[in-house]
Structure 1
Amino acid sequence: MEKSAKYEREDKASFFGARHVQCFMIFIGLTVAFAQRVNFSVAIVAMTDRNATNPDFEEYAWSEQTKSYLLSGFFWGYFVTQIPGGQLAHKYGGKIMLLLSLGLSSILCMLTPLTARLGDWKLVFALRVVQGLIQGCIFPSTHTLLSKWVPPEERGSIGTFCYTGVQFGSVLMMGISGTIASSSLGWPGIFYTSGLISLLYVIMWYFVGASEPSDFKWISAEEKLYIQSSLVASTKPEEEHVPTKTPWVKILTSVPFLVILIAQSTFAWGFWTMLIQIPSYMKNILKQDIKSNALMSALPYLVNMFLTFAFCGLNNFLIKRNLISIRTSRKLFNTIGFWVPVLPLILLGYLREDQSSLAVGLLVILIGVNSAAYLGFLTNHIDLSPNFAGILMGVANCMANLMGVVAPLLVGFIVTDSKNVNQWRIIFNITAALYFIGNLLFIIFGQVKIQKWNYPKETEQQRDHIKFEPVNVEKEVY
């Protein structure tokens, strides 16, 4: 009777509920956050070439080295606040940290054109650093929210769906930036548009967002019970508020976590190298104007987004049919996302100006298939430690976004002549090698088993006596 009641509860809660609303709002949040990051990659092309867009707006004579500094500026701040961001989200909840981060960042985004007029590239660089500092809470907050809202068996699909906001924001901004820059709004319109949309989202999130199911007044009793009973790391009600101390030494010496850190860093190197440098590569090597440049740069990320949904569906099918375990799923999709792009990356360095269609095809394969990795390392933090998922994401994303600082600077150091395809070839080969190494280590050392340090010492002895309600995913996780 108890077992049948459990499955009846799952059926009532499994189709569509409050957790899906929350995840959709997180998806939109990541969309607007990434729109604010990507906008500068396209805008800087217009800001430094008046003839490429509306000529009625300022043009800045920034060198390639200066542009590299500006493109990396966001990450100088962003990687610094990842770990504090994880701690703050763990302490105050994901909702408030996401709200503050996006709200303040949106205001700075709209101030970008003014800072360029007042202080040239130095003030713009400072603004981008501060904007990065503020946005450092976003990914840790997202992981903290997912650890509270998403049952383990839905983590690969619903959790990954949230992160497609990364691609959607990139597609949206790259797709419309060229048109906005060529309109009467000029290149400043890129910043005004993305900033205003972000502020509208912040207002919606204030009213709809919730840090956990118990904070959301429109959730059904069935769904709330379903989520709480499905979480592998759930505890008895009297234990929920036991003070927890972050086990830093155990986290930083945990091989499964260090493997995630390496995988996330190598993935970030490739992701940001492609995202930031594609507009420049399109303009200088493939000779595309800014309108076609923006659309062609956005196409791979559009494919990436749709393939994410396809990979989520395939993952659900394989797991629900018991064809693969969660452990196999993580490593299989991580391998697709890391190793399939290696060959297209190498080939990109050998293309000529008259092979722009082939280049776009390779970029579509490279960036599109890259999305499979979101079902690999990106949800693995929650597998290892639901209680400290936000903190793990903060640490890993700190190192990963250090790559966002180093990658543009290395590109600026190596690509001294942006029209020289041989110099671009070096960048693509470095990225391919990092992809290969990152996934190889994940295959060998990656785990999905919940780590012992996930549980606070105060409850370890109590936890041994807790009888969890049987959930199918436990068998797969362990």
Structure 2
Amino acid sequence: MINEQMNYKNDLNSNKIYYIPKRFIVAILTSFGLLISTVIQTNFSITNSLILNPHNSNDIPIDDHQLSNTPSKLNWTSLELAYLNSIFYLGYLLAHIPAGFLVHKLSATKIFLFPLLLLLILNMLMPLSISRITSTYKLNYYITGLVRFVQGLCTGCAFPSSHGILANWCPPSERGRMGGFIYTGLYAGPVVGFFLGGFIAKYAGHYSVYYASASLGLIWSLGFVYFIYEKPIEHPTISEEELIYIEKSIADIKYLYDEKETNSIRKVPWKTILISLPVWAICLAHFARGWTFYLLLTNQPAFLNAFGFGVTENGTLGSLPHIMKVLIALLSGFIADYMRLNLLWSTTNVRKIMTCTGRIYLVF
């Protein structure tokens, strides 16, 4: 089956030399959407230590231009800032399962786009919520906490809905590569956010990172609205060859629906799922990945700041681990597809190997 799909794809590519496959455009814009969501997550990490102590009591050198663009000091403790980080991820956690249901019932592209648009709007309002809504810093703190929680809910919708987009547009034989490419956006976001955010914060003011990230996201949203459609058959300019290739390759696995009973779906065995050891093993593996990834995302700037690095050096050094993640994510997708297509390894075994290999570094 997979070999037939590969042969058909080769025929498609040979017939349309200058044709850019629409599924590739979908992958690029979906990946960029994930990038935007993680860029926005870095904004608060970059500014929170400076919000706590903008005049830098650790004797870390700050030039006059940087100091003039630093937000006025807020009497928030480090514990209160930790709560603001935590409440974001509480919203992020709570959004995943409901978003998955909404993707199935409504539209993957809409559940991907609209929460991200709200995230962009809230990000532009973040400087206002931090210091300018009221003269009472505690009230500002609670408003900021509410904004952070809703931002977490919005961000939590991106991952499940990206899976829905992938299911509609990605042939099984390409899922390793295309999935790997899409999720590089998740890891490229901190590269862009930390690296550029450090320079923007230094030369344009610390609150400007919020406006810059939101503006970048609004530009992305225009491209997403214009170029992305829910299903290949809805796309007005997709080639007939690509449409047939995609529809044919995913016909056997589409949502577990019966062709004659499109409004019915098999009953989900929730009890079996909840007591399944493989399910819990997968959950623990992803929990470990998420723990280390978001630990770096939220605490890395403060950690480097404590060692005397300025805001630009902080951003540059903070982006380095995530650059490696981008490279490995791209490479692993090709390796996974090679194992399946050329070595004829089962999908289950390939995923076990890739997951275990990717978690080995956590031990160190």
TM range (shorter): 0.7 to 0.9
Query: Letter of the aligned partner of 2:67 in structure 1?
Result: N
How far is the alpha carbon of 1:88 from its aligned partner?
0.8
Which residue does the alignment assign to 2:242?
223
Counterpart-to-counterpart distance in 2, 1:303 and 1:26: 21
What are the Cα deviations for residues 310-366 of structure 1, in whole angstroms up to 9, with x where unaligned?
Answer: 2223333333321643223212221221013422xxxxxxxxxxxxxxxxxxxxxxx
Q: How does 1:128-139 map to 2 (within 5 A)?
A: 128-139=148-159
User: Which of 190, 201, 219 in structure 2 is aligned with 1:170?
Assistant: 190
Mean alpha-carbon deviation: is it higher for 161-170 or for 257-266?
Answer: 257-266
2:77 aligned with 1:66, yes or no? Answer: no
In 1: Cα distance, 2:294 partner to 2:128 partner: 26
CA distance in 2, matches of 1:95, 1:328: 31
State the match for 1:154 in structure 2.
174
Q: 1:291 to 1:86 in 2, by over 3 A?
A: same
Aligned to 2:220: 201
More moved, 57-66 vs 94-103 = 57-66
Counterpart in 2 of 1:380? none
In 1, the alpha carbon distance for the partners of 2:230 and 2:173 equals: 20
Q: Is the 1:167–1:305 Cα contact (8 Å) retained in structure 2?
A: yes
**In percent, how many aligned pairs have the same letter?**
26
Superposition map of 1:93-112 within 5 A: 93-112=107-126
- The Cα shift of 1:6 comes to 6.4
In 2, distance between residues paired with 1:298 and 1:132? 22
Corresponding pairs, count: 340
1:47 matches 2:46: no
Q: Deviations over 1:56-115 (max 9, x none)?
A: 432223212111111222112221221111111111111111111111110000000001
Sort the Cα spacing of 1:273 and 1:14 in 2 relative to 1 into closer, same or farther, 3 A: farther
Aligned to 1:81, what secondary structure does the other structure show? helix
Distance 1:108 1:308, change over 3 A: same
Q: CA deviation at 1:258?
A: 2.8
Which of 23, 32, 45 is the equivalent residue of 1:19? Answer: 23
1:61 counterpart SS class: coil
| Offset of residue 14 of structure 1 | 5.9
Residues 13/86 of structure 1: CA separation in 2 closer, same or farther (3 Å cut): farther
Q: Using a 3 Å threshold, how does the CA distance of structure 1 residues 322 and 257 change in structure 2: closer, same or farther?
A: same
Which deviations, in whole Å up to 9, do the C-alpha atoms of 1:133-184 show, x marking residues without a partner? 223221111111111111122111111110100111111000011111111x
Bigger relative contact order (CA 8 A; separation at least 6): 2
AA partner of residue 55 (structure 1)? S
**Pair 1:307 & 2:328 matched:** yes
Q: Of the candidates 248, 261, 267, which is equivalent to residue 289 of structure 2?
A: 267
Question: C-alpha deviations, 1:260-300, integer Å up to 9, x for none?
Answer: 2222122211211122111122122x322221111101111
The equivalent of 1:10 in structure 2 is 9
3-state SS, counterpart of residue 80 of structure 1:
helix
**Unaligned runs of at least 5 residues, structure 1:** 344-478
**Could you tell me which residue of structure 1 aligns to residue 274 of structure 2?**
252
Q: Aligned partners of 1:32, 1:240: CA distance in 2, in Å?
A: 39
User: Offset of 1:8 from its aligned partner?
Assistant: 5.1
Letter in 1 for 2:285: A
1:240–1:182: structure 2 CA closer, same or farther, 3 Å change rule? farther
Letter in 2 for 1:24: I
Aligned letter for 1:62? W
SS class of match (1:79): helix
Letter in 2 for 1:148: N
**What is the CA–CA distance in structure 2 between the aligned matches of 1:339 and 1:4, rounded to whole Å?**
33
Report the alpha carbon displacement of residue 4 of structure 1 after superposing the two structures with TM: 11
Please say if 1:34 is aligned against 2:38: yes
1:245 Cα deviation after fit:
5.7
Distance change >3 Å, CA 211–CA 59, structure 1 → 2: same
Q: CA, structure 1 residues 237+83, in 2 after alignment: closer, same or farther (shift >3 Å)?
A: closer
Normalising by structure 1, report the TM-score.
0.66
The 3 A distance-change label for structure 1 pair 201 and 240 is: farther
Q: Partner amino acid for 1:135?
A: T
The CA deviation at 1:249 is 3.4
Q: Residue 147 of structure 2 is aligned with which of 127, 132, 147?
A: 127
Distance 2:123 2:194 in 1: 16
Unaligned runs of at least 5 residues, structure 2: 15-19, 56-61, 134-138
